[in-house]
Amino acid sequence: MMGFIPVMTLAVALLGLLTLEAGATEPNETTVLETLRPEHPRLMLTDAGLAELKVAYEKDATLQQYAAQVKERADKMLDKPALEHRLIGPRLLHVSRECLDRVYTLALAWRWLREESYARAAEANLLTVCAFPDWNPSHFLDTAEMSHAVGVGYDWLHDYLSDATRATVKTALIEKGLKPGIGVYKTGGWWTRSEFNWNQVCNSGMLIGALAIAETDPEYARFIIPRAVASLPKALHAYDPDGAWMEGPGYWHYATRYTAFGLCALDTALGKDFGLSDFPGLRVTGLFPDYTTGPTGLLLNYADSGERAARRPMSCMFWLARKYGSSVISDAEHAVLEKSAADAGHVVWYTPPSGAPGAARDLDRWFRSPVDIVVMRSAWDDPNALFVGVKAGYNQVNHGHLDLGNFELDALGTRWARDLGSDDYNLPGYFDRKKGGKRWKYYRNRSISHNVPILGGEDQDAEAVAKVLDFASRPESAHVTIDLTSAYLDFASNAVRDVALTDNRRAAVVRDRFEIRKPCAFLWGMTTDAEIKLQDDGSATLLLEGRQMIARVLEPRGASFAVESAEQPPPEKKNAGVKRLIFRLDAPIGPLTLTILFAPIWDQGAVESPELGVLDK
């Protein structure tokens, strides 16, 4: 197997970044293909790389298992119905992704086993999509992913395909993929300037398609590669300084997967990625998925994540581990694969388990990206551990919700405070993020569905920004303080949220401090799947999956919880059975402090009088 690439120092990485931005390592149209690998396959997995995998396979039981799982996937694809040019809303994306999965799986099975049935099925899928009238360039993700699929299919099956089939596939790739992409580059299309996932997906799809045919049609690669390499840093900067992703853990996977595809394709086809892999945040971003996964296996579900989104296999973790020499990242992925099946990428980028004891990990971490994320937990490798994740950032982030200060909470093996995730992307105006835009009329995107205060019955300001003011991690406690003032400026001159783990990390406390300058109705709320029993003393007992947790308002005295339904009428998602634990205050003005205790009922009992001094340390 290939060895790990030695880890560069941060100083060297920064130097590489500065060099790239100065243009010294940007590819030149005249010389960019001088180092092109002449033979096929040249993308992601060369024949030499495949040979190394096969040598390792003979003695590596884990690789044997993953390869068998890929073969099983390929066998199930042999008789799948032909793909159809069928849009869902404005998107062909589901078809592009299905084609990509089929091509990688079937073509890898053919390359590994040399059984013609796999190559024949992969060729049939290529010819089907190449006969489509277009690859839906109006939603360019669809075109980019299809160009990726067809480019890899052309490259990996090159020696199997007839001259006529190669000509058909190449023509479709050029006319339906690369030429529309060149049109976007020429007009400075928005995704070429974006810092979000479209940048990586579209640029990498174009790179892969152009590199696949670069020896016969070099003009496309000469045009696309310099422009893609100049565009990608706009998104790769978003990982800095420590690997978080603004669009949430779900979109972290999409963006990072395509970062891996694009940079790996440059490496294998040209022998270099022009310094793109030297971004400091990219080097450590493989830690982000596991830190933002609670003990329940559920992700910190901010932005447009899926409902109850869980940590799933991510083959790009192996690419990150290999590229940056991190067995911590690859071992984390192997742990996920103990309960899930590998895909083709896990074989292509296979990195063996280290066999070393798990490295010590911080219980708490502050990810200082443009969207600050803080995660705190009582233990690793304990499914019953207490975990709280909190987000700051800005409400105009791509795929964002009006949720500054939102928290999610796990304990006793279940998620008590949750985020509902995204609604249907095809709802009218779902991506209209401007102030007053249609996006902010849908319940799941509004503040009212999140675990944040509501002042005057209004959502947070759609243009608000929140920053972490303080973060501390100690053996017995942890806390974060977030400035939420700009979210509530219509009613408050100051707004701060503190979230802490207290009492040897056996309880969580959320404290909100406001300076109310205009009397307004005040609502505190939390979204939960739990059954809620209101108690005579104003507290609430939450029951879920046979476990219990106590919620109690410590300040203001005398406040009592109530319960509302989170269910919504169509066409929005229903949120069946989901509830809101709330309490209201009538027209407060001046200083206002609200402190809420969440006390799981452990085997040794629940915390009743928490140590609140941690909030001010």
Of residues 308 and 127, more confidence is placed in 127
Q: Are residues 80 and 139 in the same domain?
A: yes
429: CATH: 2.70.98.70
Closest CA relative to residue 17, chosen from 241, 267, 271, 226: 241
Looking at the domain assignment, is residue 353 inside a domain?
Answer: no
What is the pLDDT averaged over residues 344-359?
A: 92
- List CB contacts of 76: < 8 A, sequence separation 6 or more: none
Residue 583 scores a pLDDT above 50: yes
What is the pLDDT averaged over residues 393-418?
A: 96
Looking at the domain assignment, is residue 360 inside a domain?
Answer: no
What is the pLDDT averaged over residues 233-239?
A: 96
Confidence of residue 369 (pLDDT cuts 50, 70, 90): confident
pLDDT at 240: 94
Q: Are residues 240 and 275 in the same domain?
A: yes
Q: Are residues 578 and 541 in the same domain?
A: yes
- List CB contacts of 77: < 8 A, sequence separation 6 or more: 102, 105, 106, 121
Q: Are residues 331 and 371 in the same domain?
A: no
Q: Are residues 282 and 391 in the same domain?
A: no
Where in the sequence is the domain holding 193, given as residue range(s)? 10-348
- 71-78 contacts, C-beta under 8 A, 24 or more apart: 71/109, 71/112, 71/113, 72/341, 73/105, 73/341, 73/343, 73/344, 74/105, 74/106, 74/108, 74/109, 74/118, 77/102, 77/105, 77/106, 77/121, 78/106, 78/117, 78/118, 78/121
- List CB contacts of 56: < 8 A, sequence separation 6 or more: 1, 63, 350, 352
Q: Are residues 268 and 308 in the same domain?
A: yes
What is the pLDDT averaged over residues 65-91?
A: 97
Looking at the domain assignment, is residue 359 inside a domain?
Answer: no
pLDDT at 357: 81
Looking at the domain assignment, is residue 286 inside a domain?
Answer: yes
pLDDT at 359: 73
> Domain end: 348, 382, 412, which one?
348
Q: Are residues 380 and 309 in the same domain?
A: no
Looking at the domain assignment, is residue 173 inside a domain?
Answer: yes
**Tokens matching residue 410:** 């796990």
- Per-residue model confidence as pLDDT tens digits over 250-306: 899 999 999 999 999 999 999 999 999 999 999 999 999 999 999 999 999 999 998
pLDDT at 314: 96
> Domain end: 293, 323, 348, which one?
348
Q: Are residues 306 and 393 in the same domain?
A: no
- Per-residue model confidence as pLDDT tens digits over 600-616: 999 999 998 898 888 88
Q: Are residues 336 and 386 in the same domain?
A: no
Task: Give me the sign of the Cα torsion angle 9, 12, 16, 18.
Answer: positive
pTM: 0.92
Q: How many domains does the chain have?
A: 2
> Domain end: 298, 313, 348, which one?
348
Residue 5 scores a pLDDT above 50: no
- Per-residue model confidence as pLDDT tens digits over 12-63: 333 334 334 433 368 999 999 999 999 999 999 999 999 999 999 999 999 9
Q: Are residues 218 and 145 in the same domain?
A: yes
Looking at the domain assignment, is residue 357 inside a domain?
Answer: no
127: CATH: 1.50.10.100
Looking at the domain assignment, is residue 183 inside a domain?
Answer: yes
- Per-residue model confidence as pLDDT tens digits over 490-535: 999 999 999 999 999 999 999 999 999 999 999 999 999 999 999 9
Residue 219 scores a pLDDT above 50: yes
pLDDT at 17: 40
**Tokens matching residue 401:** 């919700």
Looking only at Cα atoms, what is the longest distance across the chain? 81
Which backbone phi and psi does 430 adopt, to 5 degrees?
A: -60, -30
Looking at the domain assignment, is residue 4 inside a domain?
Answer: no
Q: Are residues 472 and 408 in the same domain?
A: yes
Which backbone phi and psi does 377 adopt, to 5 degrees?
A: -150, 160
Computed over every residue of the chain, the mean pLDDT equals 94
- Per-residue model confidence as pLDDT tens digits over 93-149: 999 999 999 999 999 999 999 999 999 999 999 999 999 999 999 999 999 999 999
- Per-residue model confidence as pLDDT tens digits over 543-560: 999 999 999 999 999 899
What is the pLDDT averaged over residues 467-484?
A: 97
358/382 Cα distance (integer angstroms): 14
pLDDT at 615: 87
pLDDT at 587: 77
- Per-residue model confidence as pLDDT tens digits over 316-341: 999 999 999 999 999 999 999 999 99
Residue 597 scores a pLDDT above 50: yes
Question: Which residues are bridge partners to 474 per DSSP?
Answer: 477
Q: Are residues 387 and 327 in the same domain?
A: no
pLDDT at 24: 38
